[in-house]
Amino acid sequence: MNIAIYGAGGFGKEVACLIKRINANGGDWNLIGFFDDSKPEGMPVSSYGTVLGGMDLLSSYAEPLAIAIAINDNKAVRRIRESISNPNVTFPNLVDPSLFLVDGDTLKMGEGNVIQNDCMISCDVTIGNFNLINDHVVVGHDNVIGNFNGLMPAAHLSGGITIGDNNLLGVASVVLQGMTIGNGVTLGANSVLMTQPRDNSTYLGVPAKKFDF
């Protein structure tokens, strides 16, 4: 099936590489190019294709097309998804072949998720829609992850964690077992979350504490 990437930046190139890895392991995606409203039509994106156009073109696209949203900003991902109403567009889950699933039979997952290389997902995990799970992320047992969250490289979630929507867990951050994270929380790089955070707040440090800018 034809697939395009929304976002022609560095992360878009990484998702193009992910599609190549999936195809090398039995996938059958045909990457036709990139959509991006901030880049000129026809601009090359390394060796992976060119910019086809922006939202206007995607909204009128007349053939079936899978879209991967490759924007490393969960709020922007949500805005883009809510702007796409073309019934010809679908949003597959793109999962790196290196993913280690402790028990794939108990994994529940929505649509539009991107799971990069060398991640581990344990048993009885539920993942919603349009989450970025970057490389070397560990998701423990009985985790529930909502929508439009970003888990940056090497983030570690212990067991029994519930995460809402629009949260960002920084590089090498840790969330201890049994925690509940609501909505709009940012956890800084290398931070360890040990207490329940407030919505729409930033937490930094070990243990992580609320930081007011």
Closest CA to 151 of 160, 199, 128: 128
pTM greater than 0.85 (yes/no): yes
Token pair 């599609």 is at which residue? 19
| 3-class DSSP state of 56 | helix
The model's pLDDT over 36-54, given as tens digits with 9 standing for 90+, comes to: 999 999 999 999 999 999 9
Please provide the size of the chain in residues. 213
User: Residue 79 to residues 28, 53, 75, 155: CA-CA distances in angstroms?
Assistant: 29, 18, 6, 25
Domain locations along the chain:
2-92, 95-206
What percentage of the chain's residues is helix, strand, coil (to nearest 5)? 15, 30, 55
Q: Which CATH number fits domain 95-206: 2.60.120.10, 2.160.10.10, 2.60.15.10, 3.40.50.2300?
A: 2.160.10.10
Cβ atoms 163, 144 nearer than 8 A = yes
| Distance separating alpha carbons of residues 130 and 200, to the nearest angstrom | 19
**Architecture in CATH of 2-92:** 3-Layer(aba) Sandwich (3.40)
What pLDDT digit, counting tens, does each position of 137-185 carry?
999 999 999 999 999 999 999 999 999 999 999 999 999 999 999 999 9
For residue 45, which of 10, 93, 73, 77 has the smallest C-alpha distance? Answer: 10
